[in-house]
Amino acid sequence: MEGGIELEKVFQYIEENQHLYISWLIEACNQPSVSAQNRGMLEMKELVKAFLGKIGAKVEELPTNGFPIIYGELLSNKEKTLTFYNHYDVQPEDPIDQWLSNPFQSEIRDGKIFARGVADNKGNLIARICAVHAYQQVYGELPINLKFVFEGEEEIGSPHLEYFAKEFPDKLKTDGIIWEGGTRDVEDKRLHVGLGVKGICYVELSCKGANTDLHSSEAAIIENPAWRLVWALSTLKNEQEEIGIEGFYDDITPLNETEKKFIQSIPYNEAVIKKLYGIEQFLNDVTGDELKERLIAEPTCTICGIESGYTGEGSKTVLPSFAKVKLDFRLVPNQKPEKIVQLLRNHLDRKGFTDIEIKQSHGMYPFNTDPNDPFVSVVLQSVEEVYEEPPIIYRNLAGSSPMYKMLNQTNIPAVQIGVANTQSSFHAPNENILIDDYVKGIQMTAAVIKNFS
Amino acid sequence: MEGGIELEKVFQYIEENQHLYISWLIEACNQPSVSAQNRGMLEMKELVKAFLGKIGAKVEELPTNGFPIIYGELLSNKEKTLTFYNHYDVQPEDPIDQWLSNPFQSEIRDGKIFARGVADNKGNLIARICAVHAYQQVYGELPINLKFVFEGEEEIGSPHLEYFAKEFPDKLKTDGIIWEGGTRDVEDKRLHVGLGVKGICYVELSCKGANTDLHSSEAAIIENPAWRLVWALSTLKNEQEEIGIEGFYDDITPLNETEKKFIQSIPYNEAVIKKLYGIEQFLNDVTGDELKERLIAEPTCTICGIESGYTGEGSKTVLPSFAKVKLDFRLVPNQKPEKIVQLLRNHLDRKGFTDIEIKQSHGMYPFNTDPNDPFVSVVLQSVEEVYEEPPIIYRNLAGSSPMYKMLNQTNIPAVQIGVANTQSSFHAPNENILIDDYVKGIQMTAAVIKNFS
């Protein structure tokens, strides 16, 4: 490549071809791929392979016992190898009645693309491919080797990512990973760069009563599993947000002073978030540094869903025969999902709720990348070349991601950057990204490819 | 009518024409009429009018602000007037996946008819009409005047039955009412004769969080309405079944010794019920007289349904924006639904749950008929003429019924007898009655018509 690489030409190509790249994203989003319900997964897998084909990647479908990992390579004996981790599955779209447009027919409104998965994670997956495509169109050859690990089970806890890491050490080998995605603050416009994630432990608790729903007059003498569940839940966390499971906090590595300062340095516009979510105050009225510490460094215990008996219109006088609740615990460094499940079991037994069953649906460890790794600097430099505003670096994002599963046994640095924003409605109705962020995200990815060489 | 009336001839006619009468019942059950969802109500109303037409009743549709009351008369200047109160609406059929046959396509299996509403209350409504029909076919003229009050809003709390009582005193006027229905014990075969009911107060509690569902990582700092509801509920009743709402028990008229003895005299086969419902013990392991007292004379607080967030297959990491619970309180003499709602509001406020909204969907007072009223003897005599086993007389049935609304200002005795049984799955999947009970129920109704003359 004579005369060196000018990123500006690639940026311009991306700018000029954004309609093509938007059409690719829409094509990807319009294909449902709900792993939790095994809906559209086969079709989506083929689509992902076709997209990787557009950039000439050597594509392999790695079978797992679940949905396969689509693995791609663009190797050309370069010194450095960069990997993109993304997932092609999405969350279920309900509550469907709260969507303003069909979640699987992308719609553009107010400079935003609305679709299930557009922020999490198809916008990022496609942006990585577009960046490579644009670079190829402008300069032909790539300055680094590229690997693509696109899994189809992230939204159900990545049960086979560890298997990938163990079974395919050569495919795992890399010098740095751009992990999944990230957000940009809609107000101050600053990009969030993540160096890690909280862990997660997701469980379903269930309780059975009589062998059939009964007329509620029987409730005078027959056990109600909904009450059992309510009583059990009320022992798990109190109104001060203190988790009552014995030993829950024991293993946590407390924040050191450097980490505290790091968290305190992160801007967080409380007024904007309150307005955005329509709330008058944050949980327990916390604010300032305490708020940021809770968000970034505190574990949680969340009712994600609860159901029992009749929940339709009107009134039905029924004694339910079954009750269930979905709970997620977000974990911080040194907490382990399998231990949390054991502590939960012990707790319920001790409180007399031996009749409540626990089913763990997935677990992930927390993970952190060393902020001093040179790869982090490469990413930060790339961000600065695309965005006017300086990025915000997070010790870990508040969400969870299966980083640990893939990178646990390695020293590979992983950094999260992406095309979503703080109003993207992840996992919620009207999920969306800004077209402007999508285009910038493609450009930023291209910059990482160049700067890592 | 020369030679007097032999009930045996009417009984025989019913026996011989049971296929006709079963076909009428199936026709009624196959017409959905879910008042809570306004489904099929118009069609059902017309069907009820057509059935009353078969026995030559003068039919009037009494408009209310909701579903009309279908009122029928067969007057012939007889001394006594008997009224049948029934309802033509049914409960919603969910959970639909637990039905072995279509709830609105009646199916006969093992000598039983399965359909939504067959026990509650179409089996009884049609049985009353069949009894009159059979009597007319055998003897032409009826020995008493008959009135029919068939409402379409019983399953949503009979909001217009009081209006009927007030606006149509002439139509209300009667010497006795066969009220709605009743059950027969499947084991000892004895018919339950009810002289009253518990009251009911049905409310929906709801709580709102952010203005949209959020990614559950936000739960570290944003209020979760599902937790709010769980905490609030846990203050309403404890594991010892003590209702914690201040003042809840204050107004209750305690059982006197006669009533206690009456309740104790009611047989209750605990082993059979435990086996039937697949339970190992009754609530809090109560048994014997205490069990019967709880069932018949204790108020309850029941979670009929609870819902928040994601409740589908798999795991969704969501912070719900809304949570709701449906609660019913069964009330005993001197408790008033409107006061219970006020006590509940006060309680929630006192406990800090001012953010939880209460919506009362319906309320009914408890009601009791004097066991010494001569009409009670007429019914008991009629029961004995049809059933081999002696009936069991209940001071009040454990369920609720809007007796108070219609009869509050009167001295009209109301007795509950009907065609269902203790395994009829009221308000539940696979609702059913025994064909044998249906035929006997028609005969018993014919006997009351004769014996009341």
Whether the CB of A274 is below 8 Å from some CB of chain B: the reply is no
Read off the pLDDT of residues B164-213 as tens digits, 9 standing for 90 and up: 999 999 999 999 999 999 999 887 788 999 998 888 999 999 999 999 99
Of B307, B428, B228, the closest CA to residue A219 belongs to: B428
Contacts of A314 in chain B (CB under 8 A): 35-37, 92, 155-156, 361
Q: For residues B2-26, give the mean pLDDT.
A: 90
Does the structure show a pLDDT above 90 at A186? Answer: no
> What pLDDT, on a 0 to 100 scale, did the predictor assign at position B448?
98
> What pLDDT, on a 0 to 100 scale, did the predictor assign at position A439?
98
Instruction: For chain A, give every residue range classified as CATH 3.40.630.10.
Output: 7-195+369-451
**Architecture of the domain whose range is B199-252+299-364:** 2-Layer Sandwich (3.30)
> What pLDDT, on a 0 to 100 scale, did the predictor assign at position A398?
63
In B392-411, the residues whose Cβ lies within 8 Å of chain A are 397-400
Residue of B nearest to A217 (CA): B399
Tokens 């009494």 sit on residue: B62
> What pLDDT, on a 0 to 100 scale, did the predictor assign at position A399?
67
> What pLDDT, on a 0 to 100 scale, did the predictor assign at position A221?
95
Does the structure show a pLDDT above 70 at B398? Answer: no
**Architecture of the domain whose range is B7-195+369-451:** 3-Layer(aba) Sandwich (3.40)
- Please indicate whether residue A422 or residue A145 has the higher confidence score (pLDDT): A145
> What pLDDT, on a 0 to 100 scale, did the predictor assign at position B2?
38
Which token pair is B226? 């599902």
- Taking the C-alpha atoms of residue A415 and residue A427, their distance in angstroms, rounded to an integer, is 22
Q: For residues A8-19, give the mean pLDDT.
A: 97
Does the structure show a pLDDT above 70 at A173? Answer: yes
> What pLDDT, on a 0 to 100 scale, did the predictor assign at position A1?
38
Confidence of residue A24 (pLDDT cuts 50, 70, 90): very high
- Taking the C-alpha atoms of residue B331 and residue B249, their distance in angstroms, rounded to an integer, is 10
Read off the pLDDT of residues A84-143 as tens digits, 9 standing for 90 and up: 999 999 999 988 999 999 999 999 999 999 999 999 999 999 999 999 999 999 999 999
Confidence of residue B217 (pLDDT cuts 50, 70, 90): confident
Share above pLDDT 90 across residues of chain A, in percent, rounded to a whole number? 78
| Partner-chain contact A213 B427, CB within 8 Å | yes
Q: For residues A41-68, give the mean pLDDT.
A: 97
Confidence of residue A3 (pLDDT cuts 50, 70, 90): very low
On whether the CB atoms of residues B228 and B321 are closer than 8 A, the answer is no
Confidence of residue A383 (pLDDT cuts 50, 70, 90): very high
Whether the CB of A295 is below 8 Å from some CB of chain B: the reply is yes
> What pLDDT, on a 0 to 100 scale, did the predictor assign at position B4?
63
Whether the CB of B354 is below 8 Å from some CB of chain A: the reply is no
> What pLDDT, on a 0 to 100 scale, did the predictor assign at position A2?
38
Contacts of B36 in chain A (CB under 8 A): 312-316
Q: Estimate to the nearest angstrom the gap between the alpha carbon of B7 and the chain centroid.
A: 29
Element (H, E) at A268: none
Contacts of A192 in chain B (CB under 8 A): none
Please name the member of B214, B315, B399 whose beta carbon is closest to the beta carbon of A277.
Answer: B214
On whether the CB atoms of residues B179 and B415 are closer than 8 A, the answer is yes
Check whether the bond before B408 is cis (ω within 30° of 0). Answer: no
Contacts of A218 in chain B (CB under 8 A): 295, 398
Parallel, antiparallel or unpaired: strands B145-151 and B192-194: unpaired
In A122-141, the residues whose Cβ lies within 8 Å of chain B are none
> What pLDDT, on a 0 to 100 scale, did the predictor assign at position B3?
45
Å from B333 to nearest chain A CA?
Answer: 15
Whether the CB of B200 is below 8 Å from some CB of chain A: the reply is yes
Q: Mean pLDDT in chain A?
A: 93
Share above pLDDT 70 across residues of chain A, in percent, rounded to a whole number? 99
Read off the pLDDT of residues A207-260 as tens digits, 9 standing for 90 and up: 999 999 988 889 999 999 999 999 999 999 999 999 999 999 999 989 888 778
SS3 state of residue B41: helix
- Please indicate whether residue A190 or residue B223 has the higher confidence score (pLDDT): B223
Read off the pLDDT of residues B271-301 as tens digits, 9 standing for 90 and up: 988 998 999 999 999 999 999 999 888 999 9
ipTM for the complex shown: 0.77
Contacts of A286 in chain B (CB under 8 A): 221
Read off the pLDDT of residues B328-352 as tens digits, 9 standing for 90 and up: 999 998 899 999 999 999 999 999 9
- Taking the C-alpha atoms of residue A17 and residue A19, their distance in angstroms, rounded to an integer, is 5
Share above pLDDT 70 across residues of chain B, in percent, rounded to a whole number? 99
Q: Mean pLDDT in chain B?
A: 93
Lowest mean pLDDT among A16-25, B299-308, B325-334: B325-334
Please name the member of B35, B200, B282 whose beta carbon is closest to the beta carbon of A222.
Answer: B282
Residue of B nearest to A280 (CA): B210
| Partner-chain contact A429 B212, CB within 8 Å | yes
SS3 state of residue B146: strand
The DSSP code for A90 is B
In B72-91, the residues whose Cβ lies within 8 Å of chain A are 91
Does the structure show a pLDDT above 80 at B48? Answer: yes
Contacts of A239 in chain B (CB under 8 A): 231, 352
Check whether the bond before B95 is cis (ω within 30° of 0). Answer: yes
- Residue B254 has a CB neighbour count (10 Å cut-off) of 11
| Partner-chain contact A202 B36, CB within 8 Å | no
Q: Which amino acid is at A256?
A: N
Read off the pLDDT of residues B54-98 as tens digits, 9 standing for 90 and up: 999 999 999 999 999 999 999 999 999 999 999 999 999 988 999
Instruction: For chain A, give every residue range classified as CATH 3.30.70.360.
Output: 199-252+299-364
Of A309, A323, A390, A405, the closest CA to residue A356 belongs to: A323
Please name the member of A210, A279, A314 whose beta carbon is closest to the beta carbon of B222.
Answer: A279
Read off the pLDDT of residues A272-288 as tens digits, 9 standing for 90 and up: 889 989 999 999 999 99
HSE-up (13 A, CA, CB side) for residue B233: 34
SS3 state of residue A21: helix
